[in-house]
A and B are shown apart, each in its own frame.
Chain A
Amino acid sequence: AQTVTQSQPEMSVQEAETVTLSCTYDTSESNYYLFWYKQPPSRQMILVIRQEAYKQQNATENRFSVNFQKAAKSFSLKISDSQLGDTAMYFCAFMKPLFGANSKLTFGKGITLSVRP
């Protein structure tokens, strides 16, 4: 079974600065996907970024980038130029792909990020 660990319960960052959210995971799989999802107070989970384990290059989406260290089973999210709208809970998630079907996500406990004006 896979586990996802987010050990920081909350973090705070000044607007326009950079913040890094940590995540570690445990799996015996060689092929898998990792994700960061954002959950604002509206409760809707929104995909921030996705990383495929077989790709060595770190994924980037505008102000969001990851540091994927496969051997260390570490997957951190860096948010650059933080904005007030980034205030939310952030969840790290793991997925083992299945052939011919979609697969469930395994989430960490999440981290509350507050961006200060």
Chain B
Amino acid sequence: GAGVSQSPRYKVAKRGQDVALRCDPISGHVSLFWYQQALGQGPEFLTYFQNEAQLDKSGLPSDRFFAERPEGSVSTLKIQRTQQEDSAVYLCASSQGQEQGGYTFGSGTRLTVV
């Protein structure tokens, strides 16, 4: 596609519910990042994939968060047993090679846990 596509754009979940957020990067992009952006804050790193390999998951806040990219293209961020503090915008970014920070971001999924 022309850009990084994320779905759904908005998600409301009841506390305790599991959610899955999807990121469809630009075709051929090797690297994929997930960030969490709380209201009024800057994005914070969650995890990084190079193709299907998850090279860094140091930013995942708890074992309730899980990300996968099984075929090296589409990625899914799963949050189990959602809590109110999980409410945030989840941004995905991708790049073709070593872009040195010039990543293409999607428009994010706004998750609200009620």
A93 to B35, CA, bound (A): 13
* Stretch binding the partner chain, chosen from B18-26, B70-78, B79-87, B96-104: B96-104
* CB-based contact A47/B102 at 8 Å: yes
B89 beta carbon closer than 8 Å to chain A: yes
Q: Given the known A-B contacts A33-B100, A33-B101, A105-B101, are A44 and B107 also in contact in the complex, defined by CB atoms under 8 Å?
A: yes
Total residues of chain B contacting the partner, CB 8 A: 29
User: How many pairs of residues, A versus B, come closer than 8 Å at their CB atoms?
Assistant: 72
Q: Given the known A-B contacts A35-B101, A102-B50, are A43 and B89 also in contact in the complex, defined by CB atoms under 8 Å?
A: yes
Shortest C-beta distance, A5 to chain B (Å), equals: 11
* CB-based contact B91/A43 at 8 Å: yes
A95 to B95, CA, bound (A): 15
Shortest C-beta distance, B93 to chain A (Å), equals: 7
* CB-based contact B42/A101 at 8 Å: no
Total residues of chain A contacting the partner, CB 8 A: 26
A4 to B42, CA, bound (A): 10
* CB-based contact A95/B107 at 8 Å: no
* CB-based contact A50/B107 at 8 Å: no
Q: Given the known A-B contacts A43-B107, A102-B95, are A107 and B42 also in contact in the complex, defined by CB atoms under 8 Å?
A: yes
Chain B residues at the A interface, C-beta cutoff of 8 Å: 31, 33, 35, 40-45, 48, 50, 55-56, 59, 89, 91, 93, 95, 98-103, 105-108, 110
